[in-house]
Structure 1
Amino acid sequence: MEIMPLKFIVPFSLFLYLISALAHATDVKYCDKKTDYGVKVKGVEISPNPIARGHPATFSIAATTDKAISGGKLVIDVAYFGWHIYSETHDLCGETTCPVSVGDFVVAHTQLLPGFTPPGSYSLNMKMYDGNKNELTCIQFGFTIGFVSSVADI
């Protein structure tokens, strides 16, 4: 058996790492491509990815704003294979540090998903409003809940 030379192993390993990172990238879309939202979303990180049933999942949304934000709310809607299944509203200041200064900030939300949550493809729609109920941004992205569950549901 011939051993692969080191000069091929390192580039091949780097290639596999990059493919793996791209496979877990979260594709974020604005709800209305024509709207110039005051809050621009740079990206979404989901941890763990895929999400494990019966375990906490954290959604971290990196964004930037051109105006300071003193308060507001987040409205989250979740769909499972296109069917609306869940909605919740959160105080913006409970998900990030307020007041939000002009520039970059992160909105982070952790959710414990019940062990009976069905595995599969989900989509999330998040709207952010300021204290005067003006829509600051609206994004959509998909995520996956895996087949792993907690020992408690066995």
Structure 2
Amino acid sequence: MAEMKFIVVLVLSLCAIFPLSLATSNDFQYCSKKKNYDVKVTRVDITPYPIQRSVDTTFTISASTDKSISSGKLTIEVKYFFFSVYSEDHDLCSEASCPISAGDFVIAHTQALPGITPPGSYTLTMKVKDDKNNELSCINFDFSIGFLAEEPKAVADS
């Protein structure tokens, strides 16, 4: 009987821990519900999750398009509650393999949040634009930073 309790506790623990290592979200929203974007987003993955300060976090966007994209720009804006706190532009081809052929593709952006990042709710808006600055897609999704900061682990010299 004790062995069965151990297995139940182990399974429940794994069920609680596994979702923390990878967040998959289909809870993103398009910036405009009326616009028919050329790039259709199907999934957003965040690793590791929950997001930690001073640790590289990768936002992986799975998408598809009916058009070939040879170059463009990826704009990322982060809002803390409703206040814009960060914005940057990237060459689309540094975040995805260009040229992007018609079909499925992935955009992956990795970044570490500063150690002084305050806890709370954030909204990330990502815009994909072509080389003529036409908006191909725009999505936003929420994420949060917890109140407890994890200290970076020290590596001992050998």
Give the structure-2-normalised TM-score.
0.81
1:35 aligns with 2:30: no
Where in structure 2 are the equivalents of 1:1-154 lying within 5 Å? 13=11, 17=15, 21=19, 24-26=23-25, 27-146=27-146, 147-150=149-152
SS at match of 1:121: strand
Opposite residue 123 of structure 2, the aligned amino acid is: S
Give structure 1 stretches of 5+ with no counterpart. none
> For residues 36-62 of structure 1, what are the alpha-carbon distances to aligned partners after superposition, in whole Å with 9 as ceiling and x for unaligned?
100000011000111111111100000
Gaps (5+ residues) in structure 2? none
Q: Is the partner of 1:53 in helix, strand or coil?
A: coil
Aligned positions, number: 148
**What's the Cα RMSD here?**
2.8
- The verdict on how the C-alpha distance between 1:149 and 1:115 changes in structure 2, with shifts beyond 3 A counting, is farther
> Shift in Å at residue 148 of structure 1?
2.1
Structure 1 segments (4+ residues) deviating >3 Å: 2-6
String of CA shifts for 1:2-54, please: whole Å, max 9, x gaps: 66979xx5xxx58x849x74x94421100001111000000110001111111
- Label 1:38 to 1:50 Cα distance change in 2 as closer, same or farther (>3 A): same
After TM superposition, give the deviation of residue 149 of structure 1 in Å. Answer: 3.8
- CA distance in structure 2 between the aligned counterparts of 1:124 and 1:83, rounded to whole angstroms: 12
Shifted more, 108-117 versus 30-39: the winner is: 108-117
Higher relative contact order (CA 8 A, sep 6+): 1
The answer on whether the counterparts of 1:115 and 1:149 sit within 8 Å (CA) in structure 2 is: no
Closer, same or farther in 2 for the Cα pair 1:95/1:74, shift >3 Å? same
SS at match of 1:61: strand
